[in-house]
Amino acid sequence: MTDKTPIADRATELRHRTVEELKQAGTIVSPRVEAVMLTVAREDFAPEVDLEAVYEPWNGLVTKTDDAGRALSSLSAPDAQAHMLEQSRIEPGMNVLEIGSGGMNAAYLAEMVGPIGRVTTVDIDEFVTDRASRFLEQAGYGRVNVVLADAEHGVPEFAPYDRILVTVGAWDVPPAWVEQLVEGGLLVVPLKVQGLMRTVALMRDGDRLVSESARLFGFVPMQGEGAHDSTELALRDGAVRLVFDEQPPDDLTGLEHVLESEPLVVDSGAGLRLGEPWATMQMWLATTVPGFCRIMVDRAANDASARPLGGGYTGMAAVDGANLAYVATREVGGNDLALDVHAYGPDPAALAATVAGQLAIWERNHRGGPGPQYLIYPVTTPEAELPAADFALDKRHARVLISWPQPTGDDGQDALHHPNHK
């Protein structure tokens, strides 16, 4: 490769390299998704960015931030886009709605549905829709409908849709997304439950949605009517923050000085291999441990404190009254990591035992497994019409039910051990 190599040739080389890496990683599994990602030039939708960055398989590109530097819009990583395309199982001739625009993904969708299909992309931000319209037209995808609107209400003028792909982080599932989807159609949405985002493929079955697959991904948060703010408690002058995404405890004042006590450290007996996905462990704790929250740590401030939090960072925590426990990794040799529970407060033992016990159950029954199934019902659905579930959570519009697979050869008594959370 020399400085005289044309930019277009370099882009083609990078495009093929990225697709090959995603095939080797198991993200791209179908010839159609492979062909589409080899066809569309990503650089056409991020002309201000270096080619190497545009084609980096695992990282997205922020295209707009707010005054505080928080991302408002981004070009998703090729890995995330390819996975959502695989999840959505799009066929030629389909009518597809994309919620959260930018142009790049809409171009992929236009290739997937072909000339007899239709793609609509909607965004609340005029900067984003103007940019998407311009880039789509220049790249030869002017047939895509670009709509400026709050996607909380979908885009009824082009409904019903065979597929709806949400490319921003959603806390809830508005009724319009279900109503504008055909029976048997798929909604692919990065849905937050207990602060944990998973891109879930959900099939419409009457007035409910049933999950087919889910994978951990991060997306910029929804704006407009669908926006949602978490509750945070700052500890040690903000060096440590507890984040409650759903229903925080009624009174958090008892935790303000919780980290001033000596921690009780408990070995859960569970562990991970370095590089092993943590997604099922995180979601298991989120759906089985009362008082679950996320713990965010400023590494530099923590290291400089008189009593730094110990262990490797996992971000998983729980509170019980004036007690706090978090999960930390500990190297035990080679590529093996043990999962410890660090508990603080006036009576930390019970909370530490609860969290450690759930980690042990996850290790025994769900480590390496497929993860839970999601069922989404209207929040107004009567209790008598709902199926049994391991975890239930009411949002503004939707009731989310999560069920874990029954352990093979087990009567399941230790897997169904907690009340539904509402």
Same-domain pairing of 136 and 276: no
Same-domain pairing of 257 and 201: no
Q: How confident is the model at residue 421 (pLDDT cuts 50, 70, 90)?
A: very low
Q: What is the pLDDT of residues 252-310, one digit of tens each?
A: 888 999 998 899 999 999 999 988 888 999 999 999 999 999 999 988 888 888 888 98
pLDDT for 411: 44
Same-domain pairing of 199 and 252: no
Q: What is the mean pLDDT of residues 149-153?
A: 95
pLDDT for 216: 82
Q: Is residue 406 part of a domain?
A: no
Q: Is residue 82 part of a domain?
A: yes
pLDDT for 69: 60
Domain boundary among 211, 226, 241: 226
Same-domain pairing of 324 and 186: no
pLDDT for 74: 66
Task: Specify the range with the lowest mean pLDDT, choosing from 168-172, 215-219, 405-409.
Answer: 405-409
Same-domain pairing of 147 and 272: no
pLDDT for 2: 45
pLDDT for 137: 97
Same-domain pairing of 208 and 255: no
Mean pLDDT estimate for the chain: 90
Q: What is the pLDDT of residues 35-73, one digit of tens each?
A: 999 999 999 998 888 888 889 988 877 665 666 666 555
Burial class (CB in 10 A: 0-12, 13-18, 19+), 160: middle
User: Which residues participate in catalysis according to the annotation?
Assistant: 76
Same-domain pairing of 271 and 122: no
∠ CA 206-151-157, nearest 5°, is 70
Q: Is residue 394 part of a domain?
A: no
Domain boundary among 226, 241, 263: 226
Q: Is residue 422 part of a domain?
A: no
Same-domain pairing of 198 and 66: yes
pLDDT for 144: 97
Q: What is the pLDDT of residues 64-121, one digit of tens each?
A: 566 666 655 567 889 999 999 999 999 999 999 999 998 999 999 999 999 999 999 9
Q: Is residue 375 part of a domain?
A: no
pLDDT for 131: 93
Provide Rg for the chain, Cα atoms: 23
Q: What is the mean pLDDT of residues 246-251?
A: 86
Same-domain pairing of 337 and 219: no
Which pTM does this prediction carry?
0.89
Q: How far apart are CA 350 and CA 319, in angstroms?
A: 11
Q: How confident is the model at residue 394 (pLDDT cuts 50, 70, 90)?
A: very high
DSSP-assigned letters across all residues of 14-54: HHHHHHHHHHHTTS--SHHHHHHHHHS-GGGG-TTS-HHHH
Query: Where residue 81 sits, what CATH number does that domain have?
Result: 3.40.50.150
Q: Are 96 and 109 in contact (CB under 8 A)?
A: yes
Same-domain pairing of 76 and 181: yes
Helix, strand, coil percent content, the chain, rounded in steps of 5: 30, 30, 35
pLDDT for 3: 47
Q: How far apart are CA 45 and CA 103, in angstroms?
A: 6
- Given a cut of 90, is residue 250 above it in pLDDT? no
The total of other beta-carbon atoms located within 10 Å of residue 351's CB is 25
Domain boundary among 197, 226, 255: 226
pLDDT for 416: 40
pLDDT for 305: 83
Q: Is residue 97 part of a domain?
A: yes
Q: Is residue 262 part of a domain?
A: yes
Same-domain pairing of 318 and 261: yes
pLDDT for 65: 61
Q: Which residues of 199-221 are buried (b: 16+ CB within 10 A; e: fewer)?
A: bbbbbbeeebbebebbbbbebbb
pLDDT for 292: 96
Which residue range is the domain that position 237 belongs to?
A: 231-365
Same-domain pairing of 211 and 241: no
pLDDT for 413: 43
Q: Calculate what percentage of the chain has a pLDDT beyond 70.
A: 92
- What's the domain count of the chain? 2
Q: Is residue 398 part of a domain?
A: no
